[in-house]
Amino acid sequence: MKPETIALHGGFDGDPTTKAVAVPIYQTVAYSFDSAAHGAALFDLEAEGYRYTRIANPTVDVLERRVAMLEGGIDALAVASGQTAMYYTMLNLAEPGQNIVSVPQLYGTTHTIFAHILPRQGIKVRLAKSDRPAELEALIDEDTRALFCETVGNPAGNICDLEALAAIARRARIPLVVDNTVPTPVLLKPIDYGADIVVHSLTKFLGGHGTSLGGAIVDSGRFAWTEHADRFPRLTQPDDSYHGLVYTDHYGAKAFLGRARSVFQRTIGAVLSPFNAFLLLQGIETVSLRVERHVENARRVAEFLRADPRVTSVAYAGFPDSPYYALCQKYLRGRACSLMTFTIRGGADGGTRFYDALKLFKRLVNLGDAKSLACHPASTTHRQMSPEEQRQAGIGPETMRLSVGIEHIDDILEDIDQALARATASSP
Ligand code: PLP
């Protein structure tokens, strides 16, 4: 099936009990056992079925299958938020004393996990100075357990050279983990270019309506854990926290997600509620159409901003002179994302005046909603970073971020125009 079709039908062929066409919301905590033996068989993973919604739920299952199909993975684990997806993934790969290598252009809270949370748990994250593959490769050593990037960075809009990063990860015998939140699989399927694990904030474009937090981890199924058993013994050796289970023996190619579910989801329990899964599924049904419109509206906004003398810079990968133009052609087939940053006359003060003058754009910290959204990263999403870390992430105090929505383009441009007029009225 093509993505447009998967978005509507993937992972669900009607409810087996009622023949309901919409995915039913199984709003239940637990599932009854036929007998003591049945319960034990479920807990021993010998029988198929549900036990408790912290471990699995039929509504959430449909979402997992659909997201996995959209990304071309073998399976997915849906969790409470994009941040949970990222955190579980890293905990599932690295142990104290080991490290992760990452690009510096990151969503602010991912940066916080990398710079502050994982190091306190003994896992160092080495941030390269740029997204140039050679700089990342230079940071990898024998203790590195993952190479990480956002396929399209938030908010920098940088596009990572996935094939080059995948080749580096293969040489280093580690998985390439990517956050594909910004482009979504509609614009880019990282597994096609060698990514091993894809994480998502479903909260953004996939959900699309700004109603529900959610996250997902998708496994390509390609990383050969057993061939690298010396590096990932937690997957290939008996787990004493789960009565001696060997994940690679039990789950085969799905070992990574099997452990993420059995260890982190089961014990920490940052679970996606069935109701959120239902709402996210409603959003996913229209993701292809929405993204098409987001991309087209963003192109018009970028061109408008660039032609305007009140605007001093626009970072948009769709411009032929963008450093990311060639990568945009290669990985996104020229469809630059609807997330962009720009600066205006008057620097940080001008930017603040612009922000305050917006009428249609919502001032908030979110992206990928159907509505047009504006954010000032330095004072909000990326506030915890030092000025130098912000610069490496592609922002300064004057940077404004737009997530261009799917309203009529005339209304979007009119709002930007009037806000620019008010912001620059008194500046030279
Ligand atoms: N990844 C990216 C690229 C993001 O922009 C965000 C949030 O803005 C997240 C992950 C975190 O997602 P969530 O808010 O669902 O935890």
3-class DSSP string for the chain: CCHHHHHHHCCCCCCCCCCCCCCCCCCCCECCCCCHHHHHHHHCCCCCCCCECCCCCHHHHHHHHHHHHHHCCCEEEEECCHHHHHHHHHHHHCCCCCEEEECCCCCHHHHHHHHHHHHHCCCEEEECCCCCHHHHHHHCCCCEEEEEEECECCCCCCECCHHHHHHHHHHHCCCEEEECCCCHHHHCCHHHHCCCEEEEECCCCCCCCCCCCCEEEEECCCCCCHHHCCCCHHHHCCEHHHCCECHHHHHHHHHHHHHHHHHHHHHCCCCCCHHHHHHHHHHHHCHHHHHHHHHHHHHHHHHHHHHCCCEEEEECCCCCCCCCHHHHHHHHCCCCCCEEEEEECCHHHHHHHHHHHCCCCEECCCCCCCCCEEECHHHCCCCCCCHHHHHHCCCCCCCEEEECCCCCHHHHHHHHHHHHHHHHCCCC
Is the separation of the CB atoms in 343 and 311 below 8 Å? Answer: yes
The pLDDT score that the predictor gives to residue 394 is 84
Which amino acid type is present at position 144?
T
Rg (CA), the chain: 22
C-alpha 286 – ligand 1 centre gap (Å): 20
What confidence tier does 428 reach under pLDDT thresholds 50, 70, 90?
Answer: low
pLDDT, one tens digit per residue, over 41-55 is: 999 999 999 999 999
Mean pLDDT for the chain overall: 96
Q: Whose CA is nearest to atom 12 of ligand 1?
A: 82
Ligand 1 binding pocket mutation candidate from 107, 149, 375 (most atoms within 8 A of CB): 107
Ligand 1 center–CA 400 separation, angstroms: 18
Read off the pLDDT band of 355 (50, 70, 90). Answer: very high
Question: Kind of pairing, strands 400-403 and 373-375?
Answer: antiparallel
Closest ligand 1 atom to the C-alpha of 106?
3
The mean pLDDT value for 368-393 works out to 90
Length of the chain: 428
Distance 364 CA to ligand 1 centre (A): 14
Ligand 1 pocket by Cβ (under 6 Å): 81-83, 107, 110, 150, 154, 179, 181-182, 201, 203, 213, 215, 367
Residue range 323-352: mean pLDDT, rounded: 96
Q: How far does the centroid of ligand 1 lie from the alpha carbon of residue 253, in Å?
A: 27
In this structure, how many other beta carbons lie within 10 angstroms of the beta carbon of residue 22?
A: 11
pLDDT score of 378: 86
Q: Is 196 exposed, middle or buried (0-12, 13-18, 19+ CB in 10 A)?
A: buried
pLDDT class of 427 with cuts at 50, 70, 90:
low
Distance from the alpha carbon of residue 230 to the mean position of ligand 1, in angstroms: 32
Q: Once rounded to an integer, what is the mean pLDDT over residues 159-171?
A: 98
Cα–Cα–Cα angle for 176, 180, 183, rounded to 5 degrees: 140
365 has a pLDDT exceeding 70: yes
Question: What is the 328 CA–ligand 1 centroid distance (Å)?
Answer: 21
Model confidence at 206: pLDDT above 70: yes
Burial string for 145-169 (b: 16+ CB within 10 Å, else e) reads: bbbbbbbbbbbbbbbbbbebbbebb
| Cα separation, 218 vs 407, whole angstroms | 31
pLDDT at 37: 97
Measuring CA to CA, how many Å separate 139 from each of 129, 150, 230, 384? 10, 18, 20, 24
If you take atom 14 of ligand 1, which residue's CA is the nearest one?
Answer: 82
**Burial group, residue 347, by CB count within 10 angstroms (0-12, 13-18, 19+):** middle
* pLDDT over 60 at 144, yes or no: yes
What is the residue extent of each domain of the chain? 3-282, 287-424
Q: Is the pTM of this model over 0.95?
A: yes
Residue 340 near residue 304 (C-beta atoms within 8 A)? no
Instruction: State the pLDDT at residue 176.
Output: 99
Q: Does domain 3-282 have CATH number 3.40.640.10?
A: yes
Q: Looking at this protein, which amino acid is placed at residue 103?
A: V
How does pLDDT run across 83-117, given as a tens digit for each residue? Answer: 999 999 999 999 999 999 999 999 999 999 999 99
Check whether 417 has a pLDDT greater than 70. yes
User: Is 422 a residue whose pLDDT tops 70?
Assistant: yes
Fold of 287-424: Aspartate Aminotransferase, domain 1 (3.90.1150)
Q: pLDDT tens-digit profile of 24-39?
A: 999 999 999 999 999 9
